[in-house]
Amino acid sequence: MTTVFDHGTFNASTYLLDRHIEQGDGDRLALTGVRGETTYAQLHERVARTASGLRAIGLQPEQRVMMYMADSPEFVVMFLAAMRIGAIPVPVSTMTHADGLTELLRDSRARLLATTPEFRAAGEKAAALAPDLGGVVIAEDCGFTASVPVHTFAELERHEPTPAPYPTTADSPAFWLYTSGTTGNPKAAMHRHGAIRVVCETYGLLVLGIRPDDRCLSAAKAFFAYGLGNSVLFPLSVGAATILEPSPSRPDVLAERAREYGATLFFAGPTFFANMLHADLPADALAGVRLSASAGEPLPEALYRRWTGRFGVDILDGIGMTEMLHIFLSNREGEVRPGTTGVAVPGYDLRILDDEGAPVGPGTPGTLYVRGGSTAIGYWSRYDASRQVFQGDWLCTGDTYVRDADGYYACLGRTGDMIKASGMWVSPAEVETRLLQHPAIDQVAVVASRDADGLEKPVAYAVLASSAVTSDPVALEAEIIEFCRGGLPSFKRPRRVVFLDALPTTATGKIRRVELRAAASRLLSDPANEASAP
C-alpha cells in the first residue's frame, strides 16, 4: 500500500511544531539534556525567528543548508527553520573529515553551512574551498573565520518571527540525507515534506507506539536517518520530549543521561547494544526505559537474548534505509522473534526477488524490495545510481532476505560487497584507498567479518610491497591499523590486517571477494583476535 497525499499546503515544520502550539500544548517539554530545557512554545519562537533571520541573510526556497552540527537545540532549530521557509536542510555526519565535508558542500552546492563550535576547524577548512557557499551560521561566537559572512544563531533570532511557513506541499522537497547506500559513493537522497508524516504515522505510532509522555534517547546521532527519526521527528510529531546528547555516544554516558533525564524510549544499533554489555553497566542502568529499538544492521539472536536478559528491556529490531527515511520492516512489541527483522510496517509493501527479478516464496532467499510513501524522490545528480535503486514504485534494498511461512523476514547479508558496520554503510574501496597510502602495502582488499557478537566489521587482506618484508607482522599490522586513524572514522577502520603472498583472483583478474569473505568468516569470532583493533 502506498500512502497518497493531496496537493494542498503542507509544511513539515508546521506538522512537527505549530500543531502543538495551536492545541494549547506550548508549555510541554520539547528538548532536554545537557544544553538545557526548551518547551514547545520556546522552540516555536526560536524556529520562527531563525526562519526570518535566514530569509534576511538571503536564503531562498529550495537552496541548501548543510548542517555539520552536534545534537543540540540549535540542530533542531536549524532543521525546522530551514524547512519552514521552503529551504532544504542537509544534515551530514560530523565524523566526516574536512576534505569530505568540502566534497559534500561542492556536490550539494549548499548556500549556507551551519555548524557548532566543536567542528570549527573542519568547518573553516571546508568553507574556504566551497565556491557556492554564501555564508556560515555558527551556534555561538567562537571566532570562526571565513571569506563569506559568518552569522550566529543569536543574530538570526533577533529578527521578528515569520508570520507563516512557506506554502510547500507534501511533495515539495524538504531535506536531503547523504548516504553511501548500496552503491559506494556518497549521494544525497532527496526527501519530501510528506515523508515525515508518513514515518511518524506508520512506524512511530503503529510500531513504536510513541506517546506524548515519552522521552527519547538515541545513540544514533540526528544526522543519520535513523537518529533523525528517533531524536527529532517521532518525539515532535506527538508532543513528546527528546534528550539531546552532543558528545559522541558512549555506553556509560548514555546510561547516565537515561537516568538523569528520564528516558522511556532508547534507540541504538546492535554494535552499541554489544558495547553496553561490554561496559559492565549495572542491570538497572535503564530502569526507566519501557522499550528499545534497533536498526542499522541485523540484531543477532544471541546478542538480543544477552541484552534483554541483563537489562530487562525488550528490543524491537528493524531495518530502515536513508532512501526510505526510517524503518519499514520491524518486530512488534510482544511479538518479537529474535534473529528476525520482523514483519512489514503498516503502510509498506515488501517483496523478495531472485536474480532474474521473479518473486520467490517462503524459505527461498532473494533481494528485498520495498515500497511506501516515505521513499525518497531519488539521488541528487546521480541518474545511474537512482535508476539502479529506485525501480518504479519499488526500491531495491541491496539486502538478501528470506521470509518464513508466518511472514517474518530474516536478513542473510549484503547482496553486493558493501559492509554495514555499526549500522553505517562502509565502502570497501574507501578503506582500501586509505590502506594503499601506507608505504608497506602493495595490494589490498577489504571484506566483512563477523565479530564475537555476530556483527559485521571490516577486515583487510594485504600484499606487502617488496621493500616492506618484515620479521614482525604483528607490529606491522598494529602500525597499519593506527595509520588508518588519520583518515577514517572508527567504524570504517579494519579490525584486522591479514598479510598474503597474493590476493585470489578470477581468470579475468578480478579479486575473488567471495573467497576472502569465506576466509574472514571466523577471523573475529574469538574476541582475542580483535586485540589489535583501534
Listed residue (416, 350, 412) closest to 388, CA to CA: 416
The pLDDT value given to residue 153: 97
**Residues of the chain predicted below pLDDT 70:** 1-7, 181-184, 414-416, 506-510, 526-534
78 grid coordinates: 536549524
- Confirm whether 104 is domain-assigned: yes
The pLDDT value given to residue 182: 47
- Confirm whether 106 is domain-assigned: yes
- Confirm whether 204 is domain-assigned: no
- Confirm whether 406 is domain-assigned: no
Owning domain of residue 444: 427-530
The pLDDT value given to residue 522: 79
Query: Letter for the amino acid at 332?
Result: R
Q: Which CATH number do you get for residue 486?
A: 3.30.300.30
- Confirm whether 351 is domain-assigned: no
Pairing of β 241-244 and β 215-218: parallel
The pLDDT value given to residue 526: 64
The pLDDT value given to residue 3: 43
- Confirm whether 463 is domain-assigned: yes
Say if CB 320 and CB 226 are below 8 A apart.
yes
Q: How many domains would you assign to the chain?
A: 2
Residue 235's alpha-carbon distances to 17, 200, 379, 510, in angstroms, are 10, 9, 27, 48
DSSP 3-state of 319: strand
The pLDDT value given to residue 527: 52
Q: Which CATH number do you get for residue 140?
A: 3.40.50.980
- Confirm whether 24 is domain-assigned: yes
DSSP 3-state of 118: helix
- Confirm whether 193 is domain-assigned: no
Rounded to whole angstroms, the Cα distance separating 263 from 257 reads 8
Q: Last residue of a domain, which of 168, 188, 222?
A: 168
Helix axes 40-56, 73-84, angle to 10 degrees: 60
Residue 265's alpha-carbon distances to 162, 204, 242, 290, in angstroms, are 33, 12, 10, 6
The pLDDT value given to residue 48: 97
The string of pLDDT tens digits covering residues 37-75 is 999 999 999 999 999 999 999 999 999 999 999 999 999
Per DSSP, the residues of 201-261 read: IIIIIIIS---TT-EEEESS-TTSHHHHIIIIIHHHHHT-EEEE--SPP-HHHHHHHHHHH
The string of pLDDT tens digits covering residues 468-505 is 777 788 999 999 999 998 889 989 999 999 999 988 87
Q: Last residue of a domain, which of 110, 139, 168?
A: 168
Question: In the predicted model, what is the mean pLDDT of the chain?
Answer: 91
Q: Last residue of a domain, which of 119, 138, 168?
A: 168
Rounded to whole angstroms, the Cα distance separating 241 from 71 reads 14
User: What single DSSP character describes residue 502?
Assistant: S
